[in-house]
């Protein structure tokens, strides 16, 4: 194994620039002659725009342009799109309403962009925005997804009667119903999966620049997938042909899904730059981000699980209403369907599953993928049902899980997925040992002596990652293929540049991708650089989301390395005057089998470029290879998280006193980075469970619109995290990787709520389990000391 190869906790190559303040995020970039954009946003959740008077604003100092939906239409700038077609049960296509980058005739949520002001300075643009007179006719609005389809609810888009985007289903309803009829016990739950605001700490930003000399646009953008952004902005928005648009994603400060999507602001920055003939920069304020970044989750679900007399699961039924907000964001339609219902089998053999999902419009910020995307919602449904079912049946929740685990692979679930490998008993067993599950009763008594209620909760989750086989997702409605690309450029001196279509925004690809190369070529990672995030450098790529960079991006890299090695062997054969088939390559050295003739990596790479040894032969000079890798299956990371809490009965405050996570991510490239991903995911899941929640009032005003009102998890909300792994190799890709980016966020909410409900003795507890919510639930429980 190379000292900087696979499996080593190598310290990150990218860190030096970040810890010394030398990172280059979008807002750190200023272009010569740059002007600034400020968006005037709707203060109303639902309103007809009768007129916009921009005269006074246009005359303000420094103002270069005030642009609205009218100018957007004049310039024929196309609408934003949702790229995943979902068909309803009746076969009708989803009802996608027009989503112009600036509102056209109507504002559909608070924060909907009405106009953009471009000025010499940001302060001048803001000042001018105050002078724009918009005559609104306010309409009734709705934020609650559960009420959006009811008769009399305000109608948001003409194309969508009853605000219904689609009514979709998966599974066999009749078979599921029959399973429920034969059940000895049925556990039923009503679940609200709370709406979250992703809140990457770097706010979104965009700089658009038009070069009239060449007719090309450049966009610097906080995006997780620059090529997808270019494709959509070229092919659908119609800003410029693809070859005349360059998208650069420099250092990006966290994404968690929210920077996948193609948003109005980057479209407007590009368009405005052509309009005013100057580069145009926009950077979101945090409060603006709350109103303009896609939110996550927001499901209302009724779910049921059928058991036989022994605790074996017979079936699962779920009916979900998913709030997609005011417009359909880029991948919004796929989240509550193929990323959700396909995971409702969890780690269990469930013979029959049926799920119905209605997606609805409301007058709220669009909802799309947020870390986990559908899978946290599915896990919460399954893991709450299993836990509550065990309690109702009087069984230990761990035992009931074990009884129902899938043990044979491959395993075909009733909801599309074919699990390829796993060992759910192993992760459960290891987690229970690390958490000292057996010692819980003693710890509970100890807590009771201090007047605290102690609870323990499990979450044995599964996720589908490594998104995804192109043919499979294509057949399910995806407008794109979900392969990945890589290119390996070997320099004459032997150093290596790898170009990847994956994009890092915290994941450490500059280190981990280099580790894969180091392992393969036997050169240190300091001799390897990773290039990503620029459509002029990397030819094409699908970007980073769905825990796909390792399983898909690195697989493409392995394919490219295969080709590099094959060609380098040909060069070495000429150098060593041996048959190509006799050349062996190991630890950075080429040798002729059965002889002591060798050539070092650097000698071969130099010879590849000077070409003296094979000039005029069939072999081409140079050493550069590329590959595209299309996965053969999803990957299925799985594991067990155990949360232990203490609840203060007087204040309702929950303290997480212990957390154990044992995850099976397949082969791990860098354990330090993987643990970091798990930590971060858990924090976001704990945030969802304990404190985060986007709250809309009756007028569909966002009440939690800043860090003052929206409770982000802080250091003192989280415990020391005990993290371990088990390994079953993923058979579906060359490195055996499953992916680790979303696991924590997927597993955590159910573990927390299972722990708190165990402590307080009632299942009637919604997320976020704030002290107020827990206290209120406790008043109805029999666990209060006075009631005991």
Partner 1 sequence: MAASLAAQKGAETVAVSMTVNGKPVSGEIDPRTLLVQFLREHLRLTGTHVGCDTSQCGACVVHVNGMAIKSCTALALSLEGADVLTIEGLAAPDGPLHPMQEAFRENHGLQCGFCTPGMIMTAVDIVRRKGNELDDRTIREELEGNICRCTGYHNIVKAIAAGARAMKSGGATSQAAE
Nearer to partner 1 (CB atom), residue 139 or residue 712: 712
- Minimum distance from residue 18 beta carbon to partner 1 (Å): 3
Instruction: Kindly state the tokens that stand for 566.
Output: 């094959």
Nearer to partner 1 (CB atom), residue 163 or residue 670: 670
Nearer to partner 1 (CB atom), residue 9 or residue 579: 9
In 3D, which of 301, 303, 299 has the Cα closest to residue 187?
Answer: 303
Q: What is the gyration radius of the CA atoms in the chain, in angstroms?
A: 27
- Minimum distance from residue 522 beta carbon to partner 1 (Å): 25
Nearer to partner 1 (CB atom), residue 678 or residue 730: 678
Which residues contact partner 1 (rule: CB under 8 A)? Answer: 11-12, 14-25, 27-28, 30, 34, 61-62, 120-121, 123-124, 199-203, 251-254, 256, 283, 285-287, 505-508, 672-673, 675-676, 679-684, 706-708, 712, 714-716, 718, 720-721, 744
Nearer to partner 1 (CB atom), residue 307 or residue 513: 513
- Minimum distance from residue 631 beta carbon to partner 1 (Å): 25
**Which phi and psi angles does 385 have, rounded to 5°?**
-60, -45
Instruction: Kindly state the tokens that stand for 84.
Output: 């995943």
Q: Report the alpha-carbon distance of residue 313 to residue 34 in Å, rounded.
A: 62
Q: Report the alpha-carbon distance of residue 680 to residue 676 in Å, rounded.
A: 6
Nearer to partner 1 (CB atom), residue 549 or residue 633: 549
Starting at the edge strand that comes first in sequence, how are the strands of the sheet with 280-283 ordered? 63-68, 113-119, 35-41, 280-283, 205-211, 216-221, 245-248
Whether the Cβ atoms of residue 457 and residue 751 lie closer than 8 Å to each other? yes
Whether the Cβ atoms of residue 515 and residue 671 lie closer than 8 Å to each other? no
Nearer to partner 1 (CB atom), residue 721 or residue 753: 721
Nearer to partner 1 (CB atom), residue 95 or residue 509: 509
Q: Report the alpha-carbon distance of residue 787 to residue 349 in Å, rounded.
A: 40
Whether the Cβ atoms of residue 404 and residue 312 lie closer than 8 Å to each other? yes
Q: Per this entry, what is the length of the chain?
A: 788
In 3D, which of 720, 652, 632, 636 has the Cα closest to residue 683?
Answer: 720
- Minimum distance from residue 584 beta carbon to partner 1 (Å): 37
- Minimum distance from residue 85 beta carbon to partner 1 (Å): 32
Instruction: Kindly state the tokens that stand for 10.
Output: 């190598």
Element (H, E) at 354: strand 352-360
- Minimum distance from residue 549 beta carbon to partner 1 (Å): 13
Q: Please give the span between the terminal C-alpha atoms of the chain, in angstroms, as a whole number.
A: 60
Nearer to partner 1 (CB atom), residue 9 or residue 566: 9
Q: Report the alpha-carbon distance of residue 554 to residue 532 in Å, rounded.
A: 13
- Minimum distance from residue 65 beta carbon to partner 1 (Å): 16
786: Cβ contacts below 8 Å, ≥ 6 apart:
none
**Which phi and psi angles does 149 have, rounded to 5°?**
-95, -5
Residue 89: how many other CB atoms lie within 10 Å: 12
- Minimum distance from residue 252 beta carbon to partner 1 (Å): 7
Which residues lie across from 418 on neighbouring strands?
412
Nearer to partner 1 (CB atom), residue 389 or residue 508: 508
Q: Report the alpha-carbon distance of residue 551 to residue 416 in Å, rounded.
A: 20
Nearer to partner 1 (CB atom), residue 469 or residue 687: 687
Nearer to partner 1 (CB atom), residue 203 or residue 226: 203
Interior angle at CA 89, CA 331 and CA 477, nearest 5: 30
Whether the Cβ atoms of residue 40 and residue 136 lie closer than 8 Å to each other? no
Whether the Cβ atoms of residue 217 and residue 248 lie closer than 8 Å to each other? no
- Minimum distance from residue 679 beta carbon to partner 1 (Å): 4
- Minimum distance from residue 191 beta carbon to partner 1 (Å): 25
Q: Which long-range contacts (CB under 8 A, 24 or more apart) does 69-73 make?
A: 69/100, 69/102, 69/103, 69/104, 69/105, 69/114, 71/275, 72/100, 72/101, 72/102, 72/104, 72/268, 72/271, 73/100, 73/104
Nearer to partner 1 (CB atom), residue 478 or residue 643: 643
Nearer to partner 1 (CB atom), residue 186 or residue 712: 712
Whether the Cβ atoms of residue 636 and residue 738 lie closer than 8 Å to each other? yes
Question: Could you tell me whether strands 638-648 and 299-307 are parallel, antiparallel, or unpaired per DSSP bridges?
Answer: unpaired
Nearer to partner 1 (CB atom), residue 122 or residue 393: 122
- Minimum distance from residue 506 beta carbon to partner 1 (Å): 3
Whether the Cβ atoms of residue 700 and residue 364 lie closer than 8 Å to each other? yes
The full DSSP string for 578-636 is S-GGGEEEETTEEEETTSS-EEEHHHHHHHHHH-TTTTTSSSPS--EEEEEE--SS-B-
């Amino acid at each position: 194994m190379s000292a900087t190869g696979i499996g080593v906790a190598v310290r990150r190559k990218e860190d030096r620039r970040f810890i010394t303040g030398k990172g280059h995020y979008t807002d750190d970039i200023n272009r010569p002659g740059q002007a600034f954009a400020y968006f005037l946003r709707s203060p109303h959740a639902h309103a007809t725009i009768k007129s916009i008077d921009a005269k006074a604003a246009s005359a303000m100092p420094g103002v270069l342009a005030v642009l609205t939906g009218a100018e957007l239409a004049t310039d024929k700038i196309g609408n934003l799109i949702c790229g995943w077609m979902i068909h309803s049960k009746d076969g009708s296509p989803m009802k996608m309403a027009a989503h112009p980058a600036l509102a056209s005739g109507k504002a559909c949520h608070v924060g909907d962009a009405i106009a953009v002001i471009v000025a010499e300075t940001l302060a001048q643009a803001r000042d001018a925005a105050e002078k724009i007179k918009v005559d609104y006719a306010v309409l009734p609005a709705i934020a609650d997804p559960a009420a959006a389809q009811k008769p009399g609810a305000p109608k948001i888009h003409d194309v969508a009667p009853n605000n219904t985007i689609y009514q979709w289903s998966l599974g066999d309803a009749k078979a599921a119903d029959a399973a429920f009829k034969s059940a000895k016990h049925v556990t039923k739950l009503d679940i609200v999966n709370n709406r979250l605001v992703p809140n990457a700490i770097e706010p979104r930003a965009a700089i658009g620049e038009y070069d009239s000399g060449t007719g090309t646009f450049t966009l610097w953008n906080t995006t997780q997938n620059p090529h997808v952004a270019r494709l959509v902005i070229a092919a659908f928005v119609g800003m410029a042909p693809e070859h005349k648009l360059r998208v650069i994603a420099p250092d990006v400060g966290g994404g968690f899904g929210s920077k996948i999507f193609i948003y109005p602001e980057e479209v407007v920055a590009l368009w405005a730059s052509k309009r005013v003939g100057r580069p145009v920069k926009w950077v979101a304020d945090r409060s603006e981000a709350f109103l303009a970044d896609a939110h996550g989750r927001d499901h209302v679900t009724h779910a049921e699980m059928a058991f036989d007399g022994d605790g074996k699961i017979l079936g699962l039924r779920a009916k979900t209403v998913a709030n997609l907000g005011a417009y359909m964001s880029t991948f919004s339609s796929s989240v509550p369907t193929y990323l959700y219902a396909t995971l409702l089998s969890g780690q269990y053999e469930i013979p029959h599953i049926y799920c119905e999902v209605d997606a609805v419009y409301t007058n709220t910020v669009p909802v799309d993928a947020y870390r986990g995307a559908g899978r946290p919602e599915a896990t919460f449904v399954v893991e709450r049902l299993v836990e509550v079912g065990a309690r109702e049946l009087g069984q230990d929740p761990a035992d009931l899980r074990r009884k129902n685990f899938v043990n044979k692979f491959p395993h075909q679930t009733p909801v599309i997925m074919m699990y390829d490998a796993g060992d759910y008993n192993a992760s459960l067993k290891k987690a229970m040992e690390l958490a000292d599950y057996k010692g819980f009763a003693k710890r509970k008594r100890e807590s009771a002596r201090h007047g605290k209620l102690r609870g323990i909760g499990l979450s044995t989750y599964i996720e589908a990652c490594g998104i995804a086989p192109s043919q499979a997702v294509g057949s399910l409605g995806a407008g794109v293929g979900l392969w990945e690309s890589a290119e390996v450029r070997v320099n004459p001196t032997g150093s290596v540049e790898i170009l990847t279509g994956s994009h890092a925004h915290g994941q450490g690809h500059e280190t981990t991708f280099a580790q894969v190369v180091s392992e393969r070529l036997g050169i240190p990672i300091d001799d390897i650089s990773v290039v990503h995030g620029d459509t002029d450098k990397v030819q094409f790529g699908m970007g980073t989301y769905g825990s796909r960079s390792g399983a898909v991006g690195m697989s493409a890299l392995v394919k490219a390395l295969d080709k590099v090695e094959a060609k380098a062997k040909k060069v070495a054969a000429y150098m060593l005057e041996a048959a190509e088939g006799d050349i062996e390559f190991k630890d950075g050295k080429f040798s002729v089998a059965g002889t002591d003739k060798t050539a070092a990596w650097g000698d071969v790479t130099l010879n590849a470029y000077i070409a003296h040894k094979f000039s005029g032969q069939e072999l081409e000079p140079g050493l550069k290879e590329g590959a595209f890798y299309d996965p053969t299956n999803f990957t299925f990371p799985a594991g067990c998280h155990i949360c232990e809490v203490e609840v203060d009965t007087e204040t309702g405050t929950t303290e997480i006193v212990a957390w154990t996570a044992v995850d099976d991510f397949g082969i791990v490239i860098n354990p330090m980075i993987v643990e970091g991903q798990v930590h971060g995911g858990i924090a976001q899941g704990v945030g969802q469970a304990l404190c985060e929640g986007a709250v809309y009032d009756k007028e569909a005003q966002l009440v939690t619109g800043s860090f003052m009102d929206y409770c982000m998890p802080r250091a003192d909300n989280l415990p020391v995290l005990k993290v371990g792994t088990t390994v079953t190799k993923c058979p579906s890709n060359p490195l055996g990787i499953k992916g680790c980016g979303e696991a924590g966020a997927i597993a955590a909410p159910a573990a927390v709520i299972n722990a708190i409900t165990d402590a307080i003795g009632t299942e009637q507890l919604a997320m976020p389990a704030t002290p107020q919510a827990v206290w209120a639930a406790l008043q109805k429980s029999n666990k209060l000391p006075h009631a005991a």
